[in-house]
Every structure is written in structure tokens, then in C-alpha cells.
Amino acid sequence: MSAGHGDWDAVVCGAGVAGLATARALDLLGLRVLVLEKQRAPAPIAKGEVLQPSSLDVLERWQVLPRLAERGAVPLERLMVRDGAGRRLMLFDYLALPGAHRGLLALDYPLILAALRESLRDRVEVWPGALVEAAVPAGGRLSGVRVRHGGRVRELTAPLLVAADGRSSRLRAAAGIEARPVAYPHRLLSLELADVPEQAPEVTSYLTDQGLRLAYPLPGHRLRLYAQVPPDALRGADPAQLRGWASGLLDGTPALRPLAEQVRAGLGSRQLLGLWRYRVARLAVPGLALTGEAAHCVHPMAAQGMNTAIADAAALADCLAEQGFADRPSAAAADRALLAYHGRRRSWVRHIDLMSHDATLMVTRPSWTGRLIGRQLLRRIDRNPRLRFQATYNLAGLGIRPFTALDRLHQLGLPDPRAGRVPAWT
Ligand SMILES: Cc1cc2nc3c(=O)[nH]c(=O)nc-3n(C[C@H](O)[C@H](O)[C@H](O)COP(=O)(O)OP(=O)(O)OC[C@H]3O[C@@H](n4cnc5c(N)ncnc54)[C@H](O)[C@@H]3O)c2cc1C
């Protein structure tokens, strides 16, 4: 084993969105950053494709936005919840939001990663094929990592380590932080549809008797379609069973029938994805920050995971700048910043977790009564512009404004005298 030379102010483990966003944020502080990524190239997995306005603000500051546009990112104006026939249940109207970015952006996850990576300057190095095996403690804190790279194992030290190594984070485990994932009682089948005629600029959630179907356009006349399926459905299904399943999907979602041909052709692109929920109790320990899915995981239906990872990275950089780490990257400054980072992000992560879970329950409950209640609640929010604005504001990542107990009563049918007004706090 050879030792590192302390060439880095920060070592970031993982080059998913959390790792690359963290690298970009630290890059802009003028820090020397090393990113270690076990894969040689990003896996073509369908995830993290919809960016919220709060992320667009950050990505604009980081000069990443033009690189997303170059890659054909699709601007979207709303998130619309519909029934299977396409009738409106609830509109999340992003055009009504305050701020510079009143919309969403959809792009393939590997292309978002490529845009982030391309934005990194010379002081940031990315090592693909570098597996982080363990964290190295020294002086009561974590001060380095053991990494296997290019047939060698070496120890690299830095005043700041970042665990951006995803759901089964080794660094999280090394820090003694537990995640305790809880699985959702369904999976998502992901299909990529090609040659799709022009679509409305929206993310559409279709609530059907068979569960949620989520669709949004991607560049190049493609459409991402997710379908909620029972946990054991379609495992090892043969082509005839898959075609039968697709016919059932189209019968249950008449709004998708014009795309029947594309759905059948898209079966070859299917991926079956398990879904979990967790958030850690501590977002940092001395020497180490957790960002992205190393720290929290939510159901994808509300499109929050990648956005929370980007916000983690921005908040960590702010804390480091405030504690003088950018001017003098010492262990002491890092640890002060890590404490501040935990304090600043904790309530956000909790808010995102509760909001995503609530939204998920509303649209994925399989029972007849669960579906009925979910639809009722959505219709009531839709009829109340104030609550509709508030729900969109939360999803967009612009602030923490959960529904109060009184709001919940309005959602259940109590008349709301303030329904027509935009909330005063905007
Ligand atoms: C179906 C689906 C759809 C989604 N859609 C959205 C969406 O529209 N919007 C949204 O905001 N979020 C969405 N999400 C969530 C989003 O994809 C995740 O929150 C985000 O990808 C997490 O990024 P990450 O960098 O933390 O983890 P990852 O993307 O998993 O990256 C972790 C990286 O660390 C590397 N790594 C792991 N262990 C090691 C090691 N020991 N050494 C070195 N490298 C290591 C991995 O190879 C990987 O590249 C979706 C998720 C799913 C499953």
C-alpha cells in the first residue's frame, strides 16, 4: 500500500449527481478536489431526470445550465395529476411560482452527470475505476480513505471527506451512521418510448385503478414512462406476458392509447426498480459530510432525490466558505463547517422526506378506498389556489412550507376564506 501526499483539500467518494455537484461547488471555492468513482462510465439507469426550479437556480450560478441546454434538456411548465382517461385532478403550476426559474427541466441522468463533469476546472480530478474500500481515522476524526485504483491500494488523506457514494455508502457505514431503509410495497417499471409525437410540456401522473403511471418528455422525441407494479410482477416475464401486461396498461390508462405502438416497442428498454425511503440521523461527523443518497432516499414520484443532492452540495460549500475553509483548508475549519452543515440541512432533509412520502401515499395506495381518498384530497387542493401554490412551492424546493393542521382541514373540506389569496409569506 502506498500513501497519498495530502494533495487534496477534499476527497469526494462517488461521481453520481451528489458527488459531481459537491465537486463543482467546492471547485468554485477554489479548492483542490479529488473525486473517486468505482465505475468506469455511468450506468445507463433511468433515474434523476427531472430538475426542480431550486436546482436550476443553483446550476445557473454554477454555469452548468447552458451545458444542460446544449444536451437538449426539455423545459416543462407543470406537474399535472390526471385520471387514467387524462382528466385533470390537480395542477402544480410552476409558471405561477416566484423567481427566475418557473419550470422544470428533463434530461437523462448520464447527460446531467456529463454536464456537471464538463464544468469542473483543472483543480478537480476525477478518477473513474477507483473503489473506496474504507475510511481512515486519525486524531478522533476521519482523515482519509483507502482506495483501490489501477491495480494498487493506497491511502489518500484530506481535511475534508465527502460520502457521495449512494444508497449502500461504505463511508456512511465507516462513520457508524445507520440508514435503515424501508422498502415501498411496489416497484416501478421504467420504459423509454421512442419516436413520440410532440408532448405537452408537463410531467403527468396518471392515477389509474392499477396504480400510478408517470410520464414526461425527454430530448429527441422520447418519453419516460414509469408504471407502478406489485413487487413480484413481471420478474422473468416472457415476451407474451410482457405484451399482455402492456395491453392491460393501455386498457387501464386510455390517455396513453395513442402511444400503444411506442409502449409495445419500448418493452425492450424496461427496467424494474425497487424503491426505498430513509434519512440518516447525522449528516456529518468530524472529517466527513454525507450528501445525496448516502444521506437520504425518497420515492421518485415527487422528483426530489437529485434535487436534494444538489442542494446538499450547495449548502456544504456555503458552510465551508463561512467557516474559512476556502481560505485555509484545515481540519478545524472543516469540522466547524460540518457541524453547521448538519444543522442547516437536517430540517430540509426531514421536510423533503415527509413531503415525498405524503405525496407518494396519495398516489400509490393500491386499495379502492385508498385511491378514492387520494383523488379526493388532490381535487380539494386543486380547487384551493392557495394550497395549490403552497404545494408547488414546496415541490419546487423554494422553501419549507408544509401544510398546517388547518390546511389539512381545508383539504378535508372545511371552507377556506383565504383560498383565493397567494400566501403572504411569498
Ligand atoms: C426511478 C428513479 C427516478 C428518479 N427520478 C428523479 C427525478 O426525476 N428527480 C430527482 O430529483 N431525483 C430522482 N430520483 C432520485 C435520484 O436519482 C437520486 O436521488 C440521485 O441519483 C442520487 O444521487 P447520488 O449521487 O447520491 O447517488 P448515485 O447516483 O447512486 O451515485 C453514487 C455513486 O457512487 C459510486 N460509488 C458507490 N460506492 C462507491 C465506492 N465504494 N467507491 C467509489 N465509488 C462508489 C457509484 O458507482 C455511483 O456512481 C430518481 C430515482 C429513481 C430510482
Domain ranges (residues) in the chain: 10-76+102-181+276-360, 184-273, 366-412
**Quick one: which H or E segment has residue 349?**
helix 331-364
pLDDT (0 to 100) of residue 423: 84
Ligand 1 proximity of 166 Cβ (cutoff 6 Å): yes
Q: For residue 278, give every residue at least 6 positions away whose Cβ sits within 8 Å of its Cβ, in sequence order, or none.
A: 179, 180, 181, 182, 296, 297
Ligand 1 proximity of 36 Cβ (cutoff 6 Å): yes
Q: What is the pTM of this model?
A: 0.96
Q: How far is the CA of 408 from the centre of ligand 1 (A)?
A: 33
57 φψ region: left (φ > 0), alpha (ψ -120 to 50), beta (else): alpha
pLDDT (0 to 100) of residue 46: 83
Q: Which amino acid is at 210?
A: Q
Query: How many CA atoms lie less than 13 Å away from 94 in the CB half-sphere?
Result: 24
Work out which ligand 1 atom sits closest to the CA atom of 171: 41
Do domains 10-76+102-181+276-360 and 184-273 share one topology? The answer is: no
CA 139 to chain CA mean position, Å? 35
- CA dist 250 and 257 (Å) reads 6
Q: How far is the CA of 304 from the centre of ligand 1 (A)?
A: 12
Nearest CA to ligand 1 atom 31: 16
Work out which ligand 1 atom sits closest to the CA atom of 36: 43
Architecture of the CATH domain 10-76+102-181+276-360: 3-Layer(bba) Sandwich (3.50)
Ligand 1 proximity of 17 Cβ (cutoff 6 Å): yes
- Main-chain phi, psi angles of 31, to 5 degrees: -90, 155
pLDDT (0 to 100) of residue 1: 41
The residues with which 187 forms a beta bridge, in sequence order, are 229
Residue with cell 405537452: 200
pLDDT (0 to 100) of residue 395: 96
Contact 287, 161 (CB under 8 A): yes
Report CA-CA distances (Å) from 247 to 242, 243, 253: 9, 6, 10
Q: Which amino acid is at 216?
A: Y
Closest CA to 288 of 162, 134, 167, 168: 162
CA angle 350, 277, 318 (to 5 degrees): 40
Q: For residue 70, give every residue at least 6 positions away whose Cβ sits within 8 Å of its Cβ, in sequence order, or none.
A: 115
Work out which ligand 1 atom sits closest to the CA atom of 275: 53
The preferred substitution site among 47, 54, 171 for testing ligand 1, maximizing ligand atoms within 8 Å of CB, is 47
- The reply to whether CATH 3.30.9.10 applies to domain 184-273 is yes
CA 170 to chain CA mean position, Å? 20
pLDDT (0 to 100) of residue 2: 37
Q: For residue 57, give every residue at least 6 positions away whose Cβ sits within 8 Å of its Cβ, in sequence order, or none.
A: 99, 100, 101
How many angstroms separate the first and last alpha carbons of the chain? 56
- CA dist 148 and 263 (Å) reads 42
What is the per-residue pLDDT across 180-235, written as a single tens digit (0 to 9) for each? 999 999 999 999 999 999 999 999 999 999 999 999 999 999 999 999 999 888 88
Burial class (CB in 10 A: 0-12, 13-18, 19+), 155: middle
Ligand 1 proximity of 15 Cβ (cutoff 6 Å): yes
Closest CA to 288 of 196, 189, 160: 160
Extract the residue ranges of the chain whose pLDDT is less than 50: 1-5
Q: What does the DSSP 8-state code read for residue 423?
A: P
